[in-house]
Amino acid sequence: MRERVAYLIALAVLAAGPSGCSLSSLENAVKGDVGSAGKKETRVELNSAGRKRLAALPGLTGADADKIVANRPYANRRDLVRKSVLSEAQFEKLKDSVYVEHAKE
């Protein structure tokens, strides 16, 4: 992966030529092209996200975020409804914005 990034940076530097393009902007451009490794995650992991991040989810309040934190851990996102943390309607609004990362064995 690092070799690919280095290769892409080298290509970008050669393609830019003496145009005065800064290396940091090229690195940022390459990181954006690398794929999921350089992508910022837009979904929220239920077992590790902070209260502030959870409260920013669609349809949730600070009190809802506190309930999510208090009822951890979650085996899957559906546990939010199963544990009576959120209503079905609340879950439907945010289900695509959350996930649960499973432990690697």
Q: Has residue 38 been placed in a domain?
A: no
Against a cut of 0.75, is the pTM above it? Answer: no
For residue 73, whether the previous peptide bond is cis, meaning omega lies within 30 degrees of 0, is yes
CA dist., res. 27 & res. 51, Å (int): 32
The CA distances from residue 37 to 32, 33, 72, 79, in Å, are 9, 10, 27, 28
Together in a domain, 56 and 21 = no
Of the chain, the end-to-end C-alpha distance in Å amounts to 23
At residue 8, the pLDDT reads 67
CA dist., res. 1 & res. 10, Å (int): 14
Angle between helix 23-33 and helix 2-16 axes, rounded to 10 deg = 130
Report the chain's mean pLDDT, rounded to a whole number: 79
- Residue 59 or residue 16, greater confidence: 59
Find out whether 83 and 75 touch, Cβ atoms under 8 Å. Answer: no
Measured at the alpha carbon of residue 100, what is the angle toward residues 94 and 102, in degrees to the nearest 5? Answer: 165
Together in a domain, 62 and 83 = yes
Together in a domain, 23 and 53 = no
Q: What 3-state DSSP class applies to 6?
A: helix
> Domains in the chain: how many in total?
2
Q: Has residue 58 been placed in a domain?
A: yes
- Domain hosting 16: range is 2-33
Together in a domain, 48 and 95 = yes
Q: Has residue 104 been placed in a domain?
A: no
Q: Has residue 88 been placed in a domain?
A: yes
Q: Has residue 39 been placed in a domain?
A: no
Together in a domain, 21 and 49 = no
Render pLDDT for 47-96 as a digit per residue (tens, 0 to 9).
Answer: 999 999 999 999 999 999 999 999 999 999 999 999 999 999 999 999 99
Together in a domain, 51 and 93 = yes
